[in-house]
């Protein structure tokens, strides 16, 4: 039996996650259709990273379900992970390897037979073609962030999960990343990003999900004026 791993939406349905008695995420629901950017917004400890880890299949929900198209996360084969790209808060890069070696390693791991070519193209996109043979340990935080983003996207994922992707980036790198994310959205990928950078997220998101203490307190489609909406969501009563 062949199983289609392509999906046109990711559905998060009443998802909760507990660590012992601590509730990290509680009954969160949203849909991330292809060609959209969903923002998870909230203070530290709001459950954004836990939610991303569950979407990445690294954590199992304690309750509720996550579906990739019609496929339940619990039934997903390992190949599903090949459709998901993750940029974590930690960058998932080996500092003892060069940028090129890091990218080629992960391209190979994701089954790309043209790993060297993929690494070369990723270095071009990161604007680091001339630094490709330097060790990642010699890079600034912003340069590492750019390599890490290309590592996460090196296999053209259907779903990109980005945890604080703007951290450490200067203004021009931030603009380049916004352009990259818009291009990714136009190519049909669903993007879920967690960020504190409301100014950058303003106008970029198709939907903003506001989280507080693990609960979804509000959501806005095509949000404008994110900072005011964020303030209202974080100080107002909880929706659920």
Partner 1 sequence: MIRVAWLILRKDLTVEVRSKEIVYTTLFFAVSCVLVFAFALVREGRGPEDGAAGILWIAVMFAGNLALGRTFERERQSETLRALLLAPASRPAVYVGKLLGILVLLFGAELLLVPLVALLFQARLLSHPFWLTAIMTTGTVGFAAVGTLFAAMLVRARSRDVLLPVLLYPITVPVIIAGVRGTATLLQPELDAGIIRFWFALLVTFDVVFVTLALWTFEAVMTD
Residues that bind partner 1 (CB under 8 A): 56-60, 78-84, 86, 88, 90-97, 101, 105-106, 108-111, 135, 151
Nearest distance from residue 58's CB to partner 1, in Å?
6
Nearer to partner 1 among residue 63 and residue 92 (C-beta)? 92
Nearer to partner 1 among residue 74 and residue 228 (C-beta)? 74
Instruction: Give the C-alpha separation, 134 to 230, whole Å.
Output: 40
Handedness of CA 7, 53, 218, 230 (dihedral sign): negative
Nearer to partner 1 among residue 110 and residue 166 (C-beta)? 110
Nearest distance from residue 86's CB to partner 1, in Å?
6
Nearest distance from residue 47's CB to partner 1, in Å?
16
Instruction: Give the C-alpha separation, 76 to 127, whole Å.
Output: 35
Nearest distance from residue 83's CB to partner 1, in Å?
8
- Are 236 and 212 a contacting pair, CB within 8 Å? no
3-state per-residue secondary structure call for 204-222: CCCEEEEEECCEEEEEEEC
Nearer to partner 1 among residue 111 and residue 203 (C-beta)? 111
Instruction: Give the C-alpha separation, 48 to 41, whole Å.
Output: 7
């Amino acid at each position: 039996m062949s199983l289609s791993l392509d999906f046109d939406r990711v559905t998060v349905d009443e998802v909760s996650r507990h660590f012992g008695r601590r509730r990290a995420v509680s009954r969160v629901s949203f849909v991330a259709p292809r060609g959209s950017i969903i923002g998870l917004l909230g203070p530290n400890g709001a459950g954004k990273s836990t939610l991303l880890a569950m979407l990445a299949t690294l954590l199992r929900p304690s309750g509720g379900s996550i579906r990739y198209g019609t496929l339940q996360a619990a039934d997903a084969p390992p190949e599903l992970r090949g459709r998901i790209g993750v940029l974590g808060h930690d960058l998932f890069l080996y500092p003892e390897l060069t940028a090129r070696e890091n990218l080629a390693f992960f391209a190979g791991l994701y089954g790309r037979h043209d790993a060297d070519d993929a690494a070369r193209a990723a270095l071009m996109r990161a604007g680091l073609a001339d630094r490709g043979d330097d060790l990642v340990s010699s890079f600034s935080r912003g340069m590492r962030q750019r390599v890490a983003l290309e590592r996460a996207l090196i296999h053209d994922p259907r779903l990109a999960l980005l945890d604080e992707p703007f951290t450490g980036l200067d203004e021009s790198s931030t603009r380049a990343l916004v352009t990259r994310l818009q291009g990714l959205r136009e190519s049909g990928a669903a993007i879920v990003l967690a960020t504190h950078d409301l100014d950058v997220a303003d106008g970029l998101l198709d939907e903003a999900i506001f989280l507080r203490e693990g609960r979804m307190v509000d959501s806005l489609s095509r949000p404008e004026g994110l900072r005011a909406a964020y303030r209202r969501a974080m100080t107002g009563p909880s929706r659920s």
